[in-house]
Amino acid sequence: MMEKIESPVAEGVAVWRTHAEGGRRSGPPTAPVYMATAVFVQGREKEIQPGWPASADQLSILLQETERLDDDHRRCLVGFLVPELALPHLRPGAELLVLEGPRTVAQVRIETMLGQE
């Protein structure tokens, strides 16, 4: 189990879907660093790409909670297993959908970019 993201690239807010909305049965994750797949929301993919977001190019995302805003909203550090694939799409305001298999369990909005060392 990963205890912390060594080189986070951004900070954002994750909004976790409830089980009734198709999210995780157990609610937001409790591990120090949550690892899953994610896709960037680029525009109108849902309308033009069959099976989106499950059919989109997926990245391995890392989320480390830093603040609980309410039951479903969590401020977090954001990292990627291969950051070079995500960096061209990362900017304040960018949105990602977090997936567990084909299910969307959360949406992350990037707030702040962090310096790369």
Total domains in the fold of the chain:
1
How many other CB atoms sit within 10 Å of the CB of residue 46?
Answer: 12
Tell whether 42 is covered by a domain. yes
For the stretch 1-56, pLDDT in tens is 789 999 999 999 999 999 899 888 888 898 999 999 999 887 654 544 445 455 55
* Residues sharing a CB contact under 8 Å with residue 28, sequence separation 6 or more, in sequence order: 14, 16, 65, 72, 74, 106
Q: What is the pLDDT of residue 117?
A: 44
Q: What is the pLDDT of residue 34?
A: 96
Tell whether 84 is covered by a domain. yes
- Token pair in block for residue 99: 């997936």
pTM of the predicted protein model = 0.86
Tell whether 18 is covered by a domain. yes
Tell whether 51 is covered by a domain. yes
Q: What is the pLDDT of residue 10?
A: 97
Sequence-ordered alpha helix ranges (H) in the chain: 45-48, 83-86
Q: What is the pLDDT of residue 48?
A: 43
For the stretch 52-111, pLDDT in tens is 455 557 899 999 999 999 888 999 999 999 999 999 989 999 999 999 988 899 999 999
Tell whether 74 is covered by a domain. yes
Range of the domain at 94: 10-113
Tell whether 5 is covered by a domain. no
**Domain CATH number, residue 57:** 2.40.30.10
Q: What is the pLDDT of residue 54?
A: 53
Tell whether 17 is covered by a domain. yes
Residue with tokens 């080189």: 7
Tell whether 65 is covered by a domain. yes
Q: Output the DSSP codes for 34-66.
A: EEEEEEE--SSHHHHSTTTTTTS--EEEEEEEE
How many other CB atoms sit within 10 Å of the CB of residue 76?
Answer: 24
pLDDT of residue 113 exceeding 90, the answer is: yes
